[in-house]
Amino acid sequence: MPERGSDNPSASRSSSFYRRLIKVVLAASVLAVFIFVMGFIWVSAVLQRPSLATQDVILEIKPGDGRVVISQRLNQIGLPHHPWVYRIEEWRRGKGYLPKAGEYRFMADGSLAEAMDTIHKGVPIQHDLTISEGLSSRQIVALLRNDDRLSGEIQLIPDEGSLLPETYYFSRHTDRNALIRRMQQLREIKFAEIWASRDPDHVLKSIEDAVILASIVEKETGIADELGLVASVFLNRIKASMKLQSDPTVLYGLEQDGIVVEKLLRSHLKHDSPWNTYRIKSLPPSPISNPGLASFLAVVKPQQSDYFYFVADGKGGHRFAKTYDEHKANIKLWKEARD
């Protein structure tokens, strides 16, 4: 029979080893938790720390920029952090966090976390461009081509009168052709809505004719309160089968033939052009500008009048007349004011 306690030394050593192992594992676990907690606190502090920038900063995130490049650029604009902070936060946000290319504004007191929110939401800075009423399609294209905030090459000049003068908002690098399509689509929608509200007995029978006349009205006066009266003069002339005799149509025809004039002369009124309403007894074959909503509305819903003539008053506006004799008297007044 073996002696009592003969195996105790081995069991004791084994028990001691496991106790030490448990202590090491517990210590390592506590240390790991401590490191994790401190790391979390550190990362959170870096993410929430206000920017060093003293004013708002605009930064462009380009297509293809990865986390390393984005992290570097955020560092450069006053959001100092270790690249691992950006990577950890990106990992924490999950697969749904996808930075989007664009031009963004970062607030002077903003944090890294807010900057990452901005890039993730992908709502870039909106620029604006105002297209004035009465510009030709060539002039509008020239504006777009000279605006370095836009991208893409415009291959074709849009049809005259197909673009709606308006203030347009866009993000940097928006394609010029896409912006032109927006102008065309908005013009079609807005003009169609106005045209649908016309009087059934309107002298003009197509929306195309209304755009043409609106483009002439647009060039004749820059005074909003006169648009309705100017439109009424031309519509009265159309009803009476009279020539429109609009100077801007003469100028447009000259421009189409490559003739640039500083001052319209009486000899120009004889220029052979399909747009010259001193020669043709109808509307021109196309608009002579891109009219705004107000001019188009003035043509579709004109102010009622008995006027058939108007001439400049020398003060920026016009004098209107019912008869040619009254018109001649107004011309005399204009000449006196001019001289």
What distance in Å separates the CA atoms of residue 323 and residue 328, rounded to the nearest whole number? 9
User: Is the confidence at residue 36, as pLDDT, over 70?
Assistant: no
Contacts of 207 (CB under 8 A, 6+ apart): 191, 192, 195
Q: What are the boundaries of each domain within the chain? A: 57-121, 127-187, 199-338
Summarised one tens digit per residue, pLDDT across range 47-66 is: 889 989 899 999 999 888 88
User: Is the confidence at residue 230, as pLDDT, over 70?
Assistant: yes
User: Is the confidence at residue 213, as pLDDT, over 60?
Assistant: yes
Interior/surface letters 12-44, b for 16+ CB within 10 angstroms, e for the rest: eeeeeeeeeeeeeeeeeeeeeeeeeeeeeeebe
Q: What is the pLDDT of residue 74?
A: 92
| DSSP-H helix ranges across 49-145 | 67-76, 83-93, 112-121, 137-145
Geometric angle at alpha carbon 277, from 199 and 165, rounded to 5°? 60
Closest by Cα among 281, 207, 219 to 244: 281
Q: What is the pLDDT of residue 90?
A: 87
Contacts of 45 (CB under 8 A, 6+ apart): none
Residue 301: pLDDT band by 50, 70, 90 thresholds? Answer: very high
Residue 154: pLDDT band by 50, 70, 90 thresholds? Answer: very high
Q: Which residue do the tokens 């992908």 mark?
A: 122
Summarised one tens digit per residue, pLDDT across range 236-250 is: 999 999 999 999 999
Q: How many CB atoms lie within 10 A of CB 147?
A: 15
CB 138 within 8 A of CB 288: no
What distance in Å separates the CA atoms of residue 237 and residue 321, rounded to the nearest whole number? 13
Summarised one tens digit per residue, pLDDT across range 262-290 is: 888 889 999 999 999 999 988 999 999 99
Torsion of CA 57, 115, 79, 150, to 10 degrees: -40
Q: What is the pLDDT of residue 11?
A: 66
Higher model confidence: residue 166 or residue 31?
A: 166
